[in-house]
Amino acid sequence: MIIRQYSYFILNLFTLMLPSDMPELQSYEDIAYIRNKLAIDETELKARKYFKDQFAISCKLSFTTKFDWMFHAINHNKKN
């Protein structure tokens, strides 16, 4: 929740980085995405719930990510 205290500072930094031509940061829509993910427009309680839900989803999906990396490693080793 501490990161929300510095959210406007973070958004300003990313806005200043827009001209850097980073593929992931091309427009103000990308800044809006960051703003959404920081839950800036939500109350502290709603933001806390949002972050807990996102964390739970990440934990559930971590298995599929590990599975994907395992197959990637197997496929890479077959090529060598």
pLDDT tens, the chain, 80 aa long: 788 899 999 999 999 999 998 998 999 999 999 999 999 999 999 999 999 999 888 888 777 777 777 777 787 777 65
| pTM across the whole model | 0.67
Total of domains in the chain = 2
- Same structural domain for residues 66 and 52? yes
- Same structural domain for residues 34 and 6? yes
- Same structural domain for residues 10 and 29? yes
- Same structural domain for residues 80 and 59? yes
Q: State the alpha helices, DSSP H only, in 1-80.
A: 2-5, 7-16, 28-37, 44-79
- Same structural domain for residues 35 and 50? no
The pLDDT score that the predictor gives to residue 6 is 94
21: left (phi over 0), alpha (psi -120 to 50) or beta: left
- Same structural domain for residues 22 and 11? yes
Domain encompassing residue 64: 44-80
- Same structural domain for residues 30 and 9? yes
The pLDDT score that the predictor gives to residue 79 is 65
- Give the Cα separation of 47 and 57 in Å (integer): 15
Q: Specify the 3-state DSSP secondary structure of 41.
A: coil
